[in-house]
Amino acid sequence: MRPTMLAARSLRKASIPPTLLSDPTPGSLQPTRLAVHVNGAGSSCSAYLASGCRVYKIEISMDGVMLSKGKESLLIPDNAQVISSSVVDRCPHQSEIQSVAFAEGEGDNCLILGTVDSYGHLIVSRLDIVADGTLLSCLQHGVNRIDMMKTHPDDGVFSSAKKRTCCVAIYSPF
């Protein structure tokens, strides 16, 4: 059986707005501190970048230009329009975040965001996706339940708790 090869369909390049992140930490631009989520329609994607104790979201347009190739089929990135950018206030780390990861959650409308800091604290956030493909903001909508999972290096136990002071928001109607 012949192995399946992946082929790029587009290649985008976007700049982090200096108003969002003017002074990144020296090691912030590492692949472990970046996670990308493409919305259902594929017209945009959200890049999540960790720098210091925070996670930043940059929404990038994926519409328009297809893949550009140069000499010897070298891929040439097209400049992408930054639609929006913001700070993700769901990950209250007290030390520098070392890794960011996304996974599909239960059903089609849930994402799991995981972050780990330099002390080994893990915070797992369950995020709902609203109809337009954006992540639900706990600041803009009523939140009935907030869950969190966090490791405690002191006792080595992985615990789960419901606290309003935590980072994870799951919106459920009334």
Residue 96 lies in a domain: yes
C-alpha–C-alpha distance, residues 33 and 55, integer Å = 9
pLDDT of residue 28: 59
pLDDT of residue 63: 83
pLDDT of residue 130: 60
Contact 34, 49 (CB under 8 A): yes
Residue 3 lies in a domain: no
C-alpha–C-alpha distance, residues 142 and 7, integer Å = 42
Domain count, the chain: 1
pTM attached to this predicted model:
0.69
- Domain holding 81, by residue range, is 30-162
The CA-based dihedral angle spanning residues 78, 86, 122, 32, taken in that order and rounded to the nearest 10 degrees: 20
Residue 69 lies in a domain: yes
User: 31 φ, ψ to 5°?
Assistant: -65, -25
Residue 171 lies in a domain: no
Residue 105 lies in a domain: yes
Residue 157 lies in a domain: yes
Per-residue pLDDT of the chain (174 residues; tens, 9 = 90+): 777 888 888 888 888 888 888 877 776 567 788 888 887 778 888 898 888 888 888 999 988 777 888 999 899 988 888 999 988 877 788 888 989 998 877 766 777 888 998 888 888 887 776 644 445 443 333 333 334 444 444 444 333 333 322 333 333 332
Residue 8 lies in a domain: no
Residue 169 lies in a domain: no
